[in-house]
Structure 1
């Protein structure tokens, strides 16, 4: 076992992909469960806040390597995304206000910076999708150890519930990062883009290689993400106002059209739509626990 494998493996044992615009493309047909309660019977959600990274800002989703919150899975306005905010508006009959407490490149230890903004927030619903940048780093030596991730995530949820004791929190599992590599590894243009980028070298370095060290490194990052998801589940279970997605976002399956052609890394509009669809059943249950499951 190589030194880096021991390092990441030990971290695992000790214990989301991704300028405001208008609609980018035609509306999607919604899939997955939708609460059956009528709009008039739905609890109201006046404001939604999202804590996260570049995924939640829609970076690279709208044709440029910059934020495009209209395409955000959480708070977007593009009908093609059918974001959580859009679904809440449809279900409750009232469009919620939205707050993007997300920053590109943020790691879990930095996410607590959002708490100062929450102190002045009136959010009824807080969506949390953060942690991909803790595994997707410049090298395997700089990933966040699982124990540190778990402590920081628990502190984040405690801070959210303290700042907004009446708000419902939805903690989402992380996207399957290994799937990103699987989608692009045989495409020369994608591999070239990854080789030029300093991002996510822990996973995407030598993307075309099948050498044993590279295979083990990718497997270690996949295991690390799974361990992060376990930590998210544990932190959420310890927070009375939190609902975990039971791995729904991690389980979402993507294809090449779901990845941005701008950087071959972040979700496209179509990919953002899939994230929203994966998250929605959990959000719907958090909003109205009494609603019958479909």
Structure 2
């Protein structure tokens, strides 16, 4: 069962792409409070020169785990119009929340003739960012909420910090809208303590071949294709671990792995994450069993790759 205090905290923090500072501040405070109990106390890299990214270096890294801290959402435009941040699902009547200089905002969203609008009783100042209203539901088998993508990836990275001896744990930005901060982060890492591989701690989709309760997903490919030799090493270790896992083969979709592959460095990468239903909606749904196997798999793989 996940640590619900941490999970509820991060699920309730708004951090749409380009506005991640609240999430970064929370993570910095959490790391400061908890790192004394971790197996290795990391070097912490953050600050203005890294925008809202946060990097933790444990020991002598060979690889890195990347978890993006931004989410999809909406931005107010003119005449009650909204424009999407990333690719949110638009369902008439869904509640959005946020605030501007005039005060807190809670409104419904609706779509007309291809345009998106809100029904707030006053004008929302242009450029205000809005997110899905959060409604966290936990059962014996599932967690359902907005922004499990990628709050569960962040949670997984935080759990890895407890036991990691050698490696980078990196909280990145901008993944959901137009590509991420990964190129700059990789450049920083390669100049500070270089790596040869990256694991992408993110959430994928339930599909015809990927199911709830069958374990964490190891992605053989999405729109982009990791190097086969590296994948074979991961798959061999996954089999040896006996941790429940399943394989994903898709022709679309992308992640921070794309940015790793397109970087000017020879760094292997693989997307490994739990699958969800209702992608990019307020009701994303993930199996708790799959989340547990995600945490276990990262803890098993990182010391062995």
Task: Give TM-score, length-normalised by structure 1.
Answer: 0.33
- Larger helix share, 1 or 2: 1
Question: Which gives a bigger RCO, structure 1 or 2 (Cα 8 Å, sep 6+)?
Answer: 1
